[in-house]
Amino acid sequence: MREISAGGVVYRQGEQGLEIQLIKDRFGKVSLAKGKMEPGETIEETALREIQEETGLIGRIIQPIDQISYTYKHPVHGETEKIVHYYVVEALEGDLQAQVEEINGVFWFKPQEAWAQQKQHGYDNNDRILRSALEILKAEVDFA
């Protein structure tokens, strides 16, 4: 079985400068807002819907980043290949609010702190996604 998901590295430019949104998932790990594609949706529509559902923010896609894939044990379908498409997404409006059924929190970080959070508490397969997004956004980050 194959499952398609989409999400994004959400950012905003404000008085504090560039900020990156990260979520804390239900397993206590740092991650990116994402979710499963629904029938009739494009991958881009899925990314924007999932970001809005999980974080309360309406965004617009700036550009694609990349995709990751991994296999997990689905409770009904068994071994499932999951492919996740990620985009750089600018936050336009909305109130930051975690979808408590899905995630434990949503936060804004300066780029260097977002990278540190990802490296310390995130999933390894999201390293290159966040790094690519930070490079696309021309964020000043020491990746060492």
Q: Write the DSSP string, 28-53.
A: S-EE--EEEPPTT--HHHHHHHHHHH
The architecture that CATH gives domain 2-136 is Alpha-Beta Complex (3.90)
Paired strand residues for 66: 86
Residue spans of the domains in the chain: they are 2-136
As a whole-number percent, the residues of the chain with pLDDT over 70 amount to 99
What pLDDT score was predicted for residue 100? 66
Whether 19 and 57 have beta carbons less than 8 Å apart is answered as no
pLDDT tens for 17-40 read: 999 999 999 889 999 999 999 999
Residue 144's SS3 state is coil
Please report the beta strands in 33-140, taking only residues with DSSP state E, as ranges in sequence order: 34-36, 57-74, 78-94, 103-109
Give the pLDDT band of residue 144 (cuts 50, 70, 90): confident
CA quadruple 90, 87, 10, 19: dihedral sign: negative
pLDDT tens for 85-129 read: 999 999 999 877 777 677 888 999 999 999 999 999 999 999 999
pLDDT above 90 for 41? yes
pLDDT above 70 for 142? yes
**Mean pLDDT of the region 57-77:** 92
Residue 107's SS3 state is strand
Give the pLDDT band of residue 1 (cuts 50, 70, 90): confident
Report the C-alpha gap between 89 and 61 in whole angstroms.
Answer: 4
The bridge status of strand 34-36 relative to strand 78-94 is unpaired
Report the C-alpha gap between 139 and 136 in whole angstroms.
Answer: 8
